[in-house]
Amino acid sequence: MIEELSERITARSPKNGEFLMVAVDGRGGSGKSTLTDKLAHFLPGFTIIHGDDYWEPSQDSEFGWFNEDRFHHDVVEPLGKGQRRLAYRPYSWESEPHLQTHELVVDAGIVIERCYSIGLPLNWDYTIWVDATPELAFERGIGREPHQAEVWANLWLPREDAYIEREQPKTRADSVIDAALPFT
């Protein structure tokens, strides 16, 4: 499945005339990172951006949240202009300073793996929805962070549900991958 998916992606012509842009979207805990890591082996020359790199402390919750302003400034706006060089500033929970700038250079393409990615204002060449039931995503999510079960149930899942209802990412995706099956 992964090799076939990579062939479908690379068969596309870049809409920006320069490089391919791929979104991997799905609920938290659906397996987006796992799928993207496996896919990366078949996409040489592609830059991978994980949405969790822009996850940081938030006043909304001790759980944290995406820094959408910084993500749009660092990633979405330059890519929307067809720029190949990004001043990438991931948040590091472990080191000081928490933000350090890294230059990313996009060669053949870029894969952005994160919740809500299909809804970003980018002209995607290929979109993937990793389809997980709310129950499966919740189970996996609290498996990673059991102390955050209440936040997953009361904050994260309702926001995901609102996004899914509003944006209909599954119906907009070029490929829908069943999160309950192994990514082979």
The stretch 50-74 carries a mean pLDDT of 84
Whole-angstrom distance, CA of residue 58 vs CA of residue 10: 37
183 in any annotated domain = no
Decide: 22 and 9 in contact? Cβ < 8 Å: yes
46 in any annotated domain = yes
CATH number at residue 151: 3.40.50.300
pLDDT at 147: 81
pLDDT at 116: 95
184 in any annotated domain = no
**Total Cβ atoms within 10 A of residue 95:** 8
Whether the predicted pLDDT of 55 surpasses 80 = yes
pLDDT, one tens digit per residue, over 117-169 is 999 999 999 999 999 999 999 899 888 888 888 888 888 899 999 999 999 99
Burial category of 136 from C-beta neighbours within 10 Å (exposed 0-12, middle 13-18, buried 19 and up): middle
41 in any annotated domain = yes
Q: Angle at the Cα of 149 (from 148 to 155), degrees rounded to 5?
A: 85
Confidence of residue 95 (pLDDT cuts 50, 70, 90): confident
Domain that holds residue 41: 2-178
pLDDT at 156: 84
86 in any annotated domain = yes
pLDDT, one tens digit per residue, over 8-48 is 999 999 999 999 999 999 999 999 999 999 999 999 999 99
Confidence of residue 62 (pLDDT cuts 50, 70, 90): low
Whether the predicted pLDDT of 61 surpasses 70 = no
Confidence of residue 60 (pLDDT cuts 50, 70, 90): low
pLDDT at 141: 85
Q: How many structural domains are present in the chain?
A: 1
Token pair for 90: 């991931």
